[in-house]
Amino acid sequence: MHFSPSLLASSLAVLISGVSAAPHESHLGKRCTNSASDRSCWGDYDLSTDYYTTVPDTGVTREYYLELVNTTAAPDGVSRNVLLVNGTFPGPTLFADWGDTNNGTGLHFHGIRQNYTNQMDGVPSITQCPVAPGDSITYTWRATQYGSTWYHSHFALQAWEGVLGGIVINGPATANYDNDMGVLFLNDWTHRTADEIYSTAESSGPPTLDNGLLNGTNVYGDVGSRFNMTVTEGESNRIRLVNGAIDTHFKFMIDDHNLTVIAMDLVPIVPYTTSVLSIGMGQRYDVILNATESSGNYWIRAIPQTACSDNDNADNIKGILKYDSTDSTEPTTSAYTYTDSCDDEDVSDLVPYYALDASDDSTEDDFAVTVGRSNNLFKWYMAATTFVAEWEDPTLLQIYNDDTNFTTSSHVIELDTADEWVYFVIETTQAVPHPIHLHGHDFFILAQGSGTFNSSTTTLSLTNPPRRDVAMLPSSGHLVIAFQTDNPGAWLMHCHIGWHTSEGFALQLVERYSEIAALINYDTLNSTCAAWKTYATADDIVEDDSGV
């Protein structure tokens, strides 16, 4: 059942373990200090450190207390019901340093590998039961990666009622910069709740959305206000872009300025320069903006791509870059020319700085993506299965009870062998692109293109291919990804279009089953489920989406 934002007003504690006590500064001090003139180092570590196997031991634990608040808000000047984290949209940014430990109703920390901490992944029906209204839960995880990401609810469509916020994990960077401007969210927006319009998505396909927001603000007609960012001539500024949209692929640009891209998702890359950046749902890019002008105001643009996104305010999702904060003049600058498409950035530009190769010694699964109708409602399928899992009986609870009778609809792929390479071939004949997100891993992109995958004619890229946690499955195309089974747990893989996840576009990977039970805190898992069952029974709550 899809609910109004009033359903889950709950409390969350997030404990994050990291490196230093203040953003942008390393106190390790044994070899070098991270500074504006040398962002590549981090105390005894640097960009050449294999962060998959080596993590600074900082001894620092950061604690954040988050409360979900039912209220009304008007981020573009039009009031609607929302569910906010600590009363703001976006919610508060969680800061940590590489190596810190962190403690946050099913909050998912997007892109965080949760290495051997699968229970902290925050996915109802998979790693926990939903958190009942008035109840609380504590998430504790270690920041083994560094860079920019976000947290969001993984319960129904709650993320797009406002339950999201940024995560900044300080560490080395592949280019120098003077100022960290923090997270910049790109969101689409509707004047009714996502829950209200889900029935339209189910019965008629994705609805046209009303507007878009930059860091939680924009104009709509004569109401609302623009997002502003002020810079100083000659200085360089790191911007941490997050596409937190429910169903919009953006092209991002700042008129008359180029962007130097230094990271994709949580993977540092060899820097490259572009004027227009393509960013899919759930993806992140860290960019450096050099303030090359001496004065003036310039449009910051997030442009929905009509190839896969419908928005009534598509040409007016804009903010203002200022060189003088007191200058209220509206920009007269022009957008860069671009090709409307929902494709990823060119893979030749996305070169991980720390080079790793994929193995050709692998097992392989092939998943065809299709859409069909059930009782006149759209349902998405992977390998002929539309995903449904149960809120009150999450996968981890089944594993703890050694119940291996997984239902067909829970679409469990078991990966029992440790440290083996697994390839997934995901393809579709339909002209709809999909952002594919995998929990628990960075995956290697071995192939990505139009048409059907053919193992005899498609060349797989095995030498330092792009690594990330969200990649676009092109319309009428294919995506081949690979990863090693080095992280025991139950991990979700799904399309990051909100409607599609709710409509069953997901599967789960049960990785190294025999090792998972020992990693589970049963008391926490059981008490959360008991509280949820009591609430759901008393209020006659019935699930009618995919459960994730």
The structural domains of the chain, with segments of one domain joined by +, span 61-349, 364-539
Average pLDDT over residues 150-164: 96
3-state secondary structure 112-153: CCCCCCHHHHCCECCCECCCCCCCEEEEEEECCCCEEEEEEE
pLDDT of residue 327: 95
Asked whether the domain spanning 364-539 has the same topology as the one spanning 61-349, the reply is yes
Confidence category of residue 472, pLDDT binned at 50, 70, 90: very high
- Express each pLDDT in 15-43 by its tens digit: 654 333 333 333 344 578 899 999 999 99
pLDDT of 135 higher than 80: yes
Q: What whole-number distance in Å separates Cα of residue 297 and Cα of residue 326?
A: 11
- Please report, for residues 106, 115, 410, 492, the alpha-carbon distance to residue 395 in angstroms, rounded to integers and kept in the order given: 14, 18, 9, 11
pLDDT band at 151 (very low <50, low <70, confident <90, very high): very high
Q: How confident is the model at residue 17, as a pLDDT?
A: 46
| Strands 443-450 and 467-468, bridge-based pairing | antiparallel
Give me the pLDDT at residue 104, please. Answer: 42
Between strands 136-142 and 11-18, the pairing is: parallel
Per-residue pLDDT tens for 328-371?
999 999 999 999 999 999 999 999 999 999 998 767 777 788 77
How far, in Å, CA of 215 to CA of 318, rounded?
11
Strand order in the sheet with 434-438: 412-415, 506-511, 489-495, 434-438, 470-473
E-strand stretches of 469-513: 470-473, 477-484, 489-495, 506-511
| Spatial distance between the Cα atoms of 11 and 14, rounded to a whole number of angstroms | 10
C-alpha atoms less than 13 angstroms from C-alpha of 92 in its C-beta half-sphere: 16
Q: Quickly list DSSP for 396-443.
A: HHHHHTT-----GGG-EEEE-STT-EEEEEEEESSS--EEEEESS--E
| Distance from the first to the final alpha carbon of the chain | 12
Q: In the CATH scheme, what is the code of domain 364-539?
A: 2.60.40.420
61-349 — its CATH code?
A: 2.60.40.420
Q: What is the mean pLDDT of the chain?
A: 92
pLDDT of residue 294: 94
CA distance 100 to 95: 10
pLDDT band at 376 (very low <50, low <70, confident <90, very high): low
**370 contact partners, CB below 8 Å, separation of at least 6:** 380, 381, 384, 428, 429, 430
Report the alpha-carbon distance of residue 334 to residue 350 in Å, rounded.
Answer: 27
HSE-up of residue 414 (Cα within 13 Å, Cβ side): 12
Cβ atoms of 157 and 81 closer than 8 Å: no
Tens digit of pLDDT for each residue in 378-401? 777 888 899 999 999 999 999 999
pTM for the whole thing?
0.94
The per-residue pLDDT for range 68-101, each reduced to its tens digit, is 989 999 999 999 999 999 999 999 999 999 998 8
**Placement of tokens 């579709």 in the chain:** 428
